[in-house]
Amino acid sequence: MAKEVVYGNTRRGRQTFYCCLVSYVLCSLFCVLCAAFCHAEVLERIVAVVNDDVILLSEFREAFRSVEESGEKISEENYLDEMINKLLLLKEAKKFSFYISNKNDKAVMDEKAIINEYIDRRIKVFIRIPYDEIESYYSENKALFEGKEFYDVKDEIEEYLIGKELNTRVNEYIKDLRKKYYIRIQLKTED
């Protein structure tokens, strides 16, 4: 009878090999399952940067949704431009501390009121419509006033012409602000 000579414990070596193989397979399977169930999701995104301020995608979508619900027709790009313009005017207004206090003398106002007060004090106050321009507008548009005399509608015409001039000047002012501030727009139309 022949004797089998065994050097070391080969059975233990095979067990260790199979243990390592099973561990590797289980580890690989665990990693694959984790990758399948775990995924990264962007929670928030920036759609515009204005100097140190940002407009987040969530606040943009919320504001745009409310505009759409009101029935106003405006593109996302134009609405984002309006938000940027509002932010620019608000930054300027806060820089010059344009706040109106309420009955309790607290400087509590909504952003729209702050911007309107700023525009009134920094731009509108300098608009003067000459008397002859008001008369000229009345003469050219008598049909709009249904037979009313000039002096009955003079103030109404003046307010209209001031509003028209104010709109022009505010748009020019915003163009100048846009040149002065760092603005970066990151809105994609597929968002």
- Give the phi and the psi of residue 169 in degrees, each rounded to 5: -70, -40
> For residue 88, which of 127, 47, 52, 58 has the smallest C-alpha distance?
52
Query: How far apart (Å, rounded) are the C-alpha atoms in residues 144 and 128?
Result: 23
Query: How far apart (Å, rounded) are the C-alpha atoms in residues 140 and 142?
Result: 6
Name the more confident of 103 and 29: 29
> For residue 111, which of 124, 95, 123, 93 has the smallest C-alpha distance?
93
- Res. 88 pLDDT band, cuts 50 70 90: very high
- Within 13 Å, how many C-alpha atoms sit on residue 36's CB side? 6
Q: Where are the domains of the chain?
A: 47-185
Spelled out in words, what is the top-level CATH class assigned to the domain 47-185? mainly alpha
**Which range, of 30-34, 43-47, 59-63, averages the lowest pLDDT?**
30-34
First vs last Cα of the chain: how many Å apart?
83
Contact predicate 166/146, CB 8 Å: no
Query: How far apart (Å, rounded) are the C-alpha atoms in residues 92 and 82?
Result: 15
Query: How far apart (Å, rounded) are the C-alpha atoms in residues 90 and 99?
Result: 11
Q: Which two tokens stand for residue 63?
A: 């504001």
- Res. 139 pLDDT band, cuts 50 70 90: very high
- Give the phi and the psi of residue 185 in degrees, each rounded to 5: -105, 130
Contact predicate 64/72, CB 8 Å: no
Over range 72-95, report the average pLDDT.
92
Would you say residue 100 has pLDDT above 90? no
Name the more confident of 1 and 92: 92
Over range 38-66, report the average pLDDT.
85
| 53-56 vs 183-185, strand pairing mode | unpaired
Contact predicate 174/91, CB 8 Å: no
Name the more confident of 84 and 97: 84
**Most confident of the ranges 15-24, 99-108, 125-134:** 125-134
Longest dimension (CA), the chain: 137
Name the more confident of 17 and 183: 183
E strand or H helix that includes residue 64: helix 57-69
Over range 24-48, report the average pLDDT.
73
